[in-house]
Amino acid sequence: MIGLQQRFDSTNDPQIVSASPVKSTGEVLSGVITLNMIHKEFITLEAGQRDAWICVCGNTPVSDGFFACDEAGNEMEPVSGWKNLYVCNRCGRIIQQDSLEVIGRNLNFKTIT
């Protein structure tokens, strides 16, 4: 049987809870599933700048940046079938490009090397 081990993230942000799959023996499985539990979050834009994103954590394209990602928040090339998602390279928030909505968070996202 697999359950979930829940914990608040390191910023103690109360609306973000991460959950790791756990076997009935208490062994934590690899991977982190992150859920937005209370309300929707949106990133913002610099005034008059359509592509100048400002993440909830304060990251911008010229600081740590954003990368195309899959639904789990892992960096990927934006190829056919890509769902227009980006991951913040500072906090791991997963952002829907069209709406600027934060749809999840992966604190252990993987980048392409």
pLDDT, tens digit (0-9, with 9 covering 90-100), for 90-106: 999 999 999 999 999 99
Q: Is the pLDDT of residue 85 over 70?
A: yes
CA dihedral over 47, 103, 6, 109, signed as positive or negative: negative
The model's pTM is 0.66
More confident residue, 26 or 84: 84
Q: What is the pLDDT of residues 33-79, one digit of tens each?
A: 444 446 789 999 998 888 899 999 999 999 999 999 999 999 999 99
Predicted confidence at residue 89, as pLDDT, reads 95
